[in-house]
Each structure stands twice: as C-alpha cells, then as structure tokens.
Structure 1
C-alpha cells in the first residue's frame, strides 16, 4: 500500500487476481464475506472451549484419587480445594503454552500474508487447528496426568494455525477494504461477529459434551475446521500481498530478525510539525502500553468467572457453556449493533467541538507552506533517486472519540469486574456475564485509534504489532492471574482475584491518558539512518529531531 492514500477507492482492481474467473462471491459484498468467514471460524474454535476447561477439572480429579483414598460421602467427589487449585494450575500452564505458540503463530501468519496473500494465509490458519483438536480428542481417552500433558502439548500445532493468526488476517483485510471513517465501526462489527460465533459454539459444545460424550465437541470441531478451510479458499476475496506494506518495509524485513520489523511501528515516531519543527511522538507507544495493561486486567475474566462459578456455585460444563454463551451473545449484539452507533454519534459530537483538521494528502496540488514546495532541480540533480516526501498521517474527523471511548470502556470494565465479588447465588454469575460485555469495545476502538496514528502503508505492520502486544498480555495474565486464583483458592477466597483484575484495569486507564494523536498537519519522518542520503528540507535542517 505504499502508493495508497486514505482516499484511495476501496478494493482496487489490481488488488484482485484478474486472471481468475469470477466466482459466486462476486455478487456478495467483500465485507459480508469476511464477516461470514469470521463467524464460522470462531464457531469452530469455540466448540471445545468450555469442555476443555471441564476436562482439566475431571482429569485433575482422576489424578488426585490415584494417590489418595477413594471418596466416601455425598456430593461431588471432585469438590475439593486441592483439586480446584491443581486444575487451575494446569489451565494456567495450558494457557501459557497456547499464547506462546500463538505469539509465534502471529509472526508466521504475518509472513504468510506477505508471501502468499491474506486468502491463502487464512486457509492455513484454519487447517492446522483441525489437527490439534484431533490430538486433543485422543488425549481425553487417556485421561489423568498423561492426558493433561498430551492436551497441553497439542498446542504446539498453534504455531502454524490458531486464533492469533486468523484474527490478525481478518483485521488486516478489514483495514484494507474499509474507508477510514468507517474502519473503527467495521472492526467492532467483525469482533461482534466473532463473538456471535463464539456464543453459538460454546452452547453447542456444552450440549454435545453432555448428550454425546466429552469427546464429541472435539470431533465436530475437526470437521468444522476443514469446512472453514474450504470456505476461505472458495469465497474470501483475494488481496495482492504486495499491497500490504511498502517496499521500504520489505527491505527492512530481510535480515535475520526481519520478522520483528513490524514491532518498530510501536516505538517513538519522528514527526514534523506544521511549522517545520521535528518532534518525537509517543502516542502509539503509550497506546500499546495501555492496551497491554488493559488486556492484562480483562484477558483472564472469561476463564476466571467460569472457574469461580465451578468452585463457588458448582457449575457444570453445561452451566458454564450457557454462562459464556450469554456473555458472548450480549457482547456480539453490542459490538455489531450498538458499538457502531456509539462511535458514529461520538465522532459527530467530537467533530462539532473540534477545530477543522487540515486535509493532509500525499500529493497536494496547491502547497500552503514553504516546506511543501519541491526542491529546485539544481539541488537534486546529483541525487541518484528523487527525494521521497515524508509520509503524511491524516487523522479522520472525530477520531478523538475513539480514544475517549477506549479509556471509558476500560474504566467501566474495572468497576463491573470488582462488583463480581458481590455474587452470592448462581444466577448472579449470569448477571455478571451479561453486564461485562456492555463495557466491551476496547479492542476495536484500540485498532481504530492505531490505524489513525500510522500512515496507510503501515496499517498491516501496526495491526500485527498490536496483536502481539495483546497476546503477550494474555500470556502474562494467564500465568499471573492463573496462579493468583490458585493461591486464593487454596485459602478458600478465590473471589479476591476480581479485585486484583479491577486494580490493573484502572492502571491501564491512567496510562491511556498519556496517549495522543499526532498533531494536526504533522508528517512522519523516515528514520535518520534510512534517509541520510536524502536532502533535508530547510526547516528540518535547522531543527534536528530530538534524540537524533
């Protein structure tokens, strides 16, 4: 997208493979196909989510009674603090392994997108999970400690295909085919569609486990993933991988650590202000840190309310499936229908209260500043190549509301999470599961803010880097709060974990107050090392970049 501007027409002809015959998907909007693909993929991933947690609880119980006297008495023989603590530890280990493989998968998926294009990369991300759930189905028949180990090792297949990769690819496609003004809302609709798939998958998976055995959801998931692969190859629109990043970014990615190149977008950016002064901009850096802290606070919440429900209210696999289904259903409805309206209304309000932003275009026919005037031919005659202009960053009118919404959403999430400790009956957990989604929207809002802070040709890199931040936070929260919950469960006070989650959420809100959009009319300056052979404009020559 090196030559793309924010006003470039959607889905340019050269982004499609014109040599291929038109398919039935030509009659369906590309955004609809992407939403449908996201729905069936998230549905496939969700069949085994709740049965998987319940399986760890059962296998930990089996392992416990291998080394202890048989249970005598009434009630659930597995309702012991020792078994709950052991199961939560194994779930934490499983979560860490999943996220570690997911982080690796994130880089693999990014490389696949740039080499094969998003379409083929997405198909790869749905094929390998079919292998994973087949391995997990076999682990269920073994059970106890050995079954747990096999279940955890099965996550290694996530390096080649998993949630990290497919979500990154879907968001990248959305960023490519959606206008800037509607991008945040489309991110919300995509996540809402994913949540709807998760909601249906959770309840179906729980019912299948109860009616036909715990292995059935895994078998159904294997078939479902193969269907997803076929759908992606048949209907997802083709996007030329050459449009995902500029030639400069591709050249930087050729080194031995080239796969880390996208992370550079999260660092401090060299910006040139309207008056010609150069300045470091840390908006993206604080945004990434705030998102890391926010995910650290909220990433463990779905697992936490399920495990707490099993401990405090004796929830079964079906109960937890219903609980998570309600949570995801409300979240999906909110993100698909309410969130876009909030963003649209909020942007209109912020646009009215903001001073008009100058139209920053890559090519302006009428320069308004001295720095916009091209150098005289005599000045650049000795240059091997013409000087490359700085990349403009044009912020959409009203986009400040996205950042405002992001902070408020995380703050409300912390309040609701802390209030979860007031639950004294089982139905209270269903109420919590219904209220938490009303504070959702932070993830699509963050992606909307991020894509406004970077130039058009850096969106794919920025989304990959931010997804890495989210999964790194998920890794941390699964390990940290998994063992925190285990420690509190040992003393019979697992509800204290909710307070810890809420405290971290409030810290994330404070960090996000330091994140700002680039100043209006500013332009991104290429790294000094990369542009040292290019002539400097007069203003930049007089005002060196801070820290250069």
Structure 2
C-alpha cells in the first residue's frame, strides 16, 4: 500500500523538471521569436506579387493594350520596374529599421526589453493595415502608399524585435551556451518565417491578396499581448551593470553603440597598451558577408519569377523550403557543430600549448586565439580554467563563421546555372546548409567585450547587418534591374559570390584580444605609450 501511495508522488517529482523546462524563460523567448517571425512573414511573398501587379497596371496606363497569348505582365520592362520599386521600398524599410535600432536600444534602457518587445509588435499592426488599404488604390498610387507605410518601421519592426530577443537571450543564458542559443533563436525565427511564407502565399491565392495583410495585423496584435504577459522581465539597469566608465547623455547615449565597433585599448601582460581591431574587422567582415548574401532570398524569388514563371504559391513554397531547412539546421545541427568544434579546438589547443604564454601577443593560427575573456575582471580568480574553454569555443565560432560565409557564396553563385524550375527549389534547399554565420558572429562578439557591453555590441552588430541589408537592396536591386532589362539577370549571382570572397578575406583579420589582456577605458592611462597590436 505504501508503494502505491508513493508512486504518484515520484511521478510528479519527475514531471516537475519537464514542466519547468517547457515554461522556462528561454523557451518562452524561443516561442516569442517563432510567433513574431510568423506574423511578420505572412505578407512577404504577397508583397512581391502585388508590386509586380501594380507595376503592370501602371505600365499599361501609358502603353498600348496588350494583344497576344500569355501573361501580359511577362515583359522585361515590367520585371525591371518591379525590381526597382521593390528596391526603393526595401531601402526605405532598411533606413527606418536602422533608425529603429537606436530607438529600440533607447527603449530597452528606459523601460526594459519586455516592454520594448511589446512596442516593436504594436506599431507593425498599424503598418500592415495601411498596406492592406494600399491594395485598393492599386497601380502607382498603391505603390506610393505601400512604400510610405514603411515609415512606421521607425517605431517597430523586425530589426527591433530581433535585437530585443537577442539581448534577452544574452542576459539569461550562460556564456558557454550562448552561441548555441543564438542559433536556436535564429532557427525558430526561420521556422516561423517558413510557415509564414507558406501560409501567406496560400491565403493570398485561395482567399484574396488582401487576406494575408489582415491575418498579419491580427497575429501581430496577439504577439503584443503575449509579450506583455509571458516574456521574462529583465531589469534595464542590468544592461549597463558593471560599466564604471562615464555615462553618456543625450545624443551621445542614443548613438553610443556605434563606438563599440571601433578599436579597443588593451593592456598586455607586460604592461604595454595596444589597439585591438578584432571587433572592427569582425563587423567589417559581417557587413560584407550580408552585402553578398542578404539579397539572395529576394534575388532567388525575382529570378524564379522572370526565368521560370513562378507565382505567389511557387515562391511561397520556395521560401518555405529554404526557411524550414534553415530553421531545422540552426535548431538541431548547428548547436552540435558548435559543441563538437569547440571540443576539437580545445583538444588541439591543449596539445599545442603546454609552453609558457610567450606566443600570446602574435598568434598565427585560428586555434591559438584563446584569451581570457575581459569579463573575468569582474569575477573572483585570476587564472580559472573555465574562461580558457570559453575562448577556445569562441575561436571555433570565428573559424566556423569564415567557412560558412564562403560556402554560402559558392552555393548562391551556383544558382546562375539553373535551367529548370526545380533547380531553384534545390538552391533553396542547399543554401540553409551554409547558414549559421549570424549566431556565430554574435557568439564571437559577446566573447570580445565585457558583460556590461553585451547589449551595446549586439545593438551595434544588428546595426551593421541592417546597414548591409540596406546597401545590398540598393546595390543588387539596381544591378538586378539593369541585368534583367538586358535579359542577363543570372549574372547577379556571380557578383554575390565575388563579394562573399572579399568578406571571408576581411574576417581573416579578425582575431581575439591577446591572452590575459585587460580592457582599458578610453579615458584611462591617456599618457601611457600605445601601439597597434601586432
């Protein structure tokens, strides 16, 4: 009888940790990333199709009526015009998104990440409602209304919510698991994007082209409620805790994250102070990498529309496949790659480094970059073993970042050889297998700075990524428009590959601070001799 009485209690005690893990702060953040990305993605493919249709309507307002077989909108002039209008809207969106990053950072410091996330999902509700109204206007007027609606991205949009989620993840996750969590977060975001692409395309084709915009407005409103109720609270004071430098005010505080991208003053073990450019070259390499690959999803869809006659459902399926594979890769494969890679780097470094630390100033191999993180200054021991393991792991993250960008560029360039529609689906399947550069770069970045600067450098890196996206939309939008008008749009893929190689070369110059070095504030030791790091 006693055994019967105690059995349910034992079962309950085993189930408690499972329930706790299911509703843990990290799980709630991952679910928030999924539903918010899902909501934002309902309209992505329908927008491409509506731009093509509205440009076609505007074209035939000034051109003779179409006579002949086939689709009247299948003309090089219309394809080029749609690409140009999309580039204009994309540039406006990215400009507003870049400014939104500064506003979001200010919001997090003022009201905390939780309320900042709610704000980032509230204003898009208004934006997609205006976009739905633009469909009734149509033609040139509809294009203007659609493009002007992006002004609301200043107050809330994809840039802001991703920054908030990454900041919360960085605050609630142990350093050793941070890169994997960044990957899982991007993975669930990609799964949400995949489902949003698919559902949005199907709803647009089977219900109406306006229906995805209505669905997005309702879904974003629910996301705002979820953010207020279930997202874990992070004290805004913790975002700058431990920062003993002078506090910036006014515009200096607003644009402060830009300073995080510059060089760092590091004091070496021999007392010398040097300039370290690891973050600068990391940011420059990430910028070039996004410049090379950031236009790829739009480019693949536009190329499939012009070359193989893809429509809303086809492009939705194409992007759904791409994002689904990317999400699965980042959630389940990427964390294991990081785990095994760090173990490999740790083993190889342990074999090669029983010598004294004479080689810490001038490392020559990626595996040699194993400094003690500068966050150790706020912790107890001077020489604990765990920080070395953390930096060895980050060294693999940097190694992985370089190779993933190179492979991404090669696969993107291979799209130029597509001769049939199913080849585009193959490209959409293969591209995600080279993903992981974004979470890897964030993992490297958070290892290069003190704990008090994590939120600031994440904001700065997100700014770099969106600035690169802005640049690539303008640059490759113009290139694709010009080449499409000449009937040679496939050459755009080769341009992407060339810039990706440049990005890899820049990342070769990014390295971790010298071992056992300390970060020196810019205002400290101004009279100390200083030189560039070897």
Task: State TM-score, norm by structure 1.
Answer: 0.87
Deviation at 1:393, TM superposition (A): 11
Instruction: Look up the SS of the partner of 1:242 in the other structure.
Output: helix
* Larger helix fraction of residues: 2
Once the two structures are superposed, the pairs formed by residues 423-434 of structure 1 within 5 Å of their partners are 423-434=418-429
Instruction: Look up the SS of the partner of 1:270 in the other structure.
Output: strand
Is 1:156 matched up with 2:151? yes
Is 1:546 matched up with 2:523? no
Is 1:291 matched up with 2:306? no
Residues 77/358 of structure 1: CA separation in 2 closer, same or farther (3 Å cut):
closer
Residues 215/250 of structure 1: CA separation in 2 closer, same or farther (3 Å cut):
farther
User: Which residue does the alignment assign to 1:320?
Assistant: 315
Question: Per-residue displacement from partner, 1:455-496 (whole Å, max 9, x unpaired)?
Answer: 111000000000000000000000000010000001100000
Asked whether the equivalents of residues 395 and 453 of structure 1 are also in contact (C-alpha less than 8 Å), the reply is no
Query: Which residue of 215, 218, 229 corresponds with 2:213?
Result: 218
CA distance in 1 between counterparts of 2:378 and 2:204 reads 59
Q: Which runs of 5+ in 2 are unaligned?
A: 1-18, 354-369
User: Which residue does the alignment assign to 1:362?
Assistant: 377
Instruction: Look up the SS of the partner of 1:72 in the other structure.
Output: coil
Residues 365/190 of structure 1: CA separation in 2 closer, same or farther (3 Å cut):
closer
Asked whether the equivalents of residues 295 and 470 of structure 1 are also in contact (C-alpha less than 8 Å), the reply is yes
Instruction: Look up the SS of the partner of 2:391 in the other structure.
Output: coil
Query: Which residue of 218, 222, 233 corresponds with 2:228?
Result: 233
User: Which residue does the alignment assign to 1:105?
Assistant: 100
Deviation at 1:256, TM superposition (A): 2.9
Q: Which runs of 5+ in 1 are unaligned?
A: 1-23, 369-391
Query: Which residue of 478, 486, 498 corresponds with 1:483?
Result: 478
Asked whether the equivalents of residues 393 and 452 of structure 1 are also in contact (C-alpha less than 8 Å), the reply is no
Question: Per-residue displacement from partner, 1:173-196 (whole Å, max 9, x unpaired)?
Answer: 000111111111110000000000
User: Which residue does the alignment assign to 1:118?
Assistant: 113
Residues 524/402 of structure 1: CA separation in 2 closer, same or farther (3 Å cut):
same
Question: Per-residue displacement from partner, 1:318-348 (whole Å, max 9, x unpaired)?
Answer: 0000000000000000000000000000000
Q: Which runs of at least 4 in structure 1 moved beyond 2 Å after TM superposition? A: 24-27, 246-253, 255-258, 355-368, 392-398
Residues 35/455 of structure 1: CA separation in 2 closer, same or farther (3 Å cut):
same
User: Which residue does the alignment assign to 1:80?
Assistant: 75
Count of equivalent residues: 492
Query: Which residue of 230, 254, 267 corresponds with 1:259?
Result: 254
Task: State TM-score, norm by structure 2.
Answer: 0.89
User: Which residue does the alignment assign to 1:17?
Assistant: none
Once the two structures are superposed, the pairs formed by residues 169-180 of structure 1 within 5 Å of their partners are 169-180=164-175
Deviation at 1:519, TM superposition (A): 1.1
Asked whether the equivalents of residues 121 and 161 of structure 2 are also in contact (C-alpha less than 8 Å), the reply is yes
Query: Which residue of 424, 439, 448 corresponds with 1:444?
Result: 439
CA distance in 1 between counterparts of 2:207 and 2:379 reads 65
CA distance in 1 between counterparts of 2:516 and 2:393 reads 15
Q: CA RMSD in A?
A: 2.0
User: Which residue does the alignment assign to 2:461?
Assistant: 466
Residues 167/72 of structure 1: CA separation in 2 closer, same or farther (3 Å cut):
same
